[in-house]
Amino acid sequence: MIRPFWNLTTRGGHVSQRRGFLKQLVTASAAGAIGLSWRDMMIARAAELRKTGKAMILLWMDGGPSQFETFNPKIGSQYQGPAKAIPTSLPGVHIAEHLPETAKMMHKIALIRSMKSTERDHFRAIKLVRSGYPINPSIQYPTWGSVVARDRFDPTYDLPAFVRIGKPRITTRDINSGVLGPRFESFKIERAGALPEDVLTTVSEDRLKRRLNLAARLDAQFAASGGNERVHEKQAIYEQTQRFVLSPKLEAFRLDNEPEKLRDAYGRNDFGQGCLLARRLVETGVSFVEVFSTGNVSDQGWDTHKHGWNENPQLAGDIDQGYATLLRDLDQRGMLEDTLVVWMGEFGRTPKFKPDGGREHYSDGWITCLSGGGVKMGQVIGATDKEGVSVSDRPVGVQDLFVTFCQILGMNPHDEYVTDQDQPLALVKGGELIHELF
């Protein structure tokens, strides 16, 4: 079923089909909404959905984090290395000592220790894990944030539906909105707390509007000569951008009005402050936020082929406070139930290691953590054998993960959308629900 518009998310993550939605509109009209135009009612409904629909925060560990040095230490194994295991707030569950603050929040995490995929190359794995589709040279599959942004699209909302904080360590491996086009591309911020310079207007609001009106007249001339489709898309983006740069909601991007104590709790580094900004954006109504972790040591991020014994503790230390405080902060504000927080990278690392602790790419038994969004937290799903070489219980595939994202966010994985090349494409192809999460 092609769904450019009709399936809409409602409170509780369920989906309102067209017939039910029309019934709601008729009921609203009978209750006194007569006199509103169809467009007005649609806008009112979209605003309600944005407030009640579930949001998602993706904490992306760029490079592929080692499961042995994070969430699945194998104490006693010949492959473990020096990282010790520490107890957590979830009885009987231990994680690596490099994540002491996160250990205190394990009761708010559903930990999957049995992720499996076939891709061990960064480029191919990133395309798969960020889109749910294996790489295909003929189709540029969109990153998941763009898919969610399309589903939550509200042309009257000032802020972007999809915001990315930080940047990939290697831009050629990045994934964007692909066949969904530029309308659903992420709004990118390299560092939390400062908007890009080109967002802030350099002229008065009146002068900006005059310039935009002139551009609109020139666009109309181009449209009349055969460029109508391109002009329409450009004008939609310009209108959204104008609302954005003039919106009072831009205050959500500022961090200096947050309590200093809370900013300290998140960690005074790029990742920690990015997590704080992610909370502020979701609180304001943004539907999808990515926060990148690439480390502060070198450009390798979590791709620790060398010096793993030294660099994994630093990488984990960079994200420990931010991750733990984000979960605690969302929970204390009553936001965690409606915000799915996912911690993951593109794959894990090999059991065998080099003398300095470096590990190669490995796609058996890597880690994903899920919190909030209505999932059953405080549990471990799946396992690897005693040496951490292979999955021994409950393998989970990438498509399974995306089917589960759909369930949490109130989206039907079997629904289709039309690409910018007029091709129908399913939200997710294959996969099964991770039923233990519900």
Say which CATH number the domain at 426 has: 3.40.720
Tell whether 3 is covered by a domain. no
Are residue 175 and residue 289 in the same domain, yes or no? yes
Count how many domains the chain has. Answer: 2
Residue for token digits 């000032």?
A: 158
Query: What are the tens digits of pLDDT across the range 127-154?
Result: 999 999 999 998 999 999 999 999 998 8
Tell whether 35 is covered by a domain. no
State residue 206's pLDDT score: 75
Mean pLDDT across 193-206:
70
Are residue 217 and residue 178 in the same domain, yes or no? no
Are residue 213 and residue 183 in the same domain, yes or no? no
Confidence of residue 75 (pLDDT cuts 50, 70, 90): very high
**For the chain, what percent of residues have pLDDT higher than 70?**
79
Which of 169, 195, 185 has the alpha carbon at shortest distance from 345?
A: 169
State residue 227's pLDDT score: 65
Are residue 118 and residue 260 in the same domain, yes or no? yes
Is the predicted pLDDT of residue 44 greater than 60, yes or no? no
Tell whether 39 is covered by a domain. no
Tell whether 29 is covered by a domain. no
Confidence of residue 14 (pLDDT cuts 50, 70, 90): very low
State residue 21's pLDDT score: 43
Are residue 65 and residue 124 in the same domain, yes or no? yes
Confidence of residue 351 (pLDDT cuts 50, 70, 90): very high
Show which of 245, 279, 314 is a domain's final residue: 245
Is the predicted pLDDT of residue 12 greater than 90, yes or no? no
CA dihedral 401, 413, 179, 340 (to 10 degrees): -50
Q: How many CA atoms lie within 13 A of 20 on its CB side?
A: 8
Are residue 82 and residue 206 in the same domain, yes or no? no
Tell whether 96 is covered by a domain. yes
Helical residues (DSSP H) of 29-92, grouped into ranges: 38-52
State residue 298's pLDDT score: 67
Please count the other Cβ atoms lying within 10 Å of the Cβ belonging to residue 44.
15
Tell whether 90 is covered by a domain. yes
* C-alpha span between 44 and 101 (Å, rounded): 42
Tell whether 32 is covered by a domain. no
State residue 332's pLDDT score: 98
Mean pLDDT across 309-334:
97
State residue 413's pLDDT score: 96
* C-alpha span between 274 and 270 (Å, rounded): 6
Q: What is the mean pLDDT of the chain?
A: 86
* C-alpha span between 155 and 47 (Å, rounded): 10
Tell whether 40 is covered by a domain. no
Are residue 232 and residue 294 in the same domain, yes or no? no
Is the predicted pLDDT of residue 368 greater than 60, yes or no? yes
Are residue 210 and residue 183 in the same domain, yes or no? no
Widest Cα–Cα separation across the chain? 74
Are residue 314 and residue 240 in the same domain, yes or no? no
State residue 208's pLDDT score: 65
Mean pLDDT across 160-164:
96
- Helix (H) or strand (E) holding 273, with range, is helix 270-284
Angle between helices 144-151 and 398-409 (to 10 degrees): 20
Mean pLDDT across 366-381:
98
* C-alpha span between 62 and 12 (Å, rounded): 32
State residue 240's pLDDT score: 64
Per the CB < 8 A criterion, the answer to whether 433 and 400 are in contact is yes
Which of 88, 120, 141, 69 has the alpha carbon at shortest distance from 367?
A: 69
Show which of 189, 214, 245 is a domain's final residue: 245
pTM for this structure?
0.83
Mean pLDDT across 301-314:
95
Are residue 71 and residue 14 in the same domain, yes or no? yes
Q: Nearest 5°: CA angle at 59, between 137 and 327?
A: 155
Is the predicted pLDDT of residue 67 greater than 70, yes or no? yes
Mean pLDDT across 187-210:
76
Are residue 405 and residue 307 in the same domain, yes or no? yes
Confidence of residue 437 (pLDDT cuts 50, 70, 90): very high
Are residue 229 and residue 112 in the same domain, yes or no? no
State residue 204's pLDDT score: 66
Query: What are the tens digits of pLDDT across the range 378-429?
Result: 999 999 999 999 999 999 999 999 999 999 999 999 999 887 778 899 999 9
State residue 362's pLDDT score: 98
Residue-range definition of the domain harbouring residue 374 = 8-24+45-197+254-437
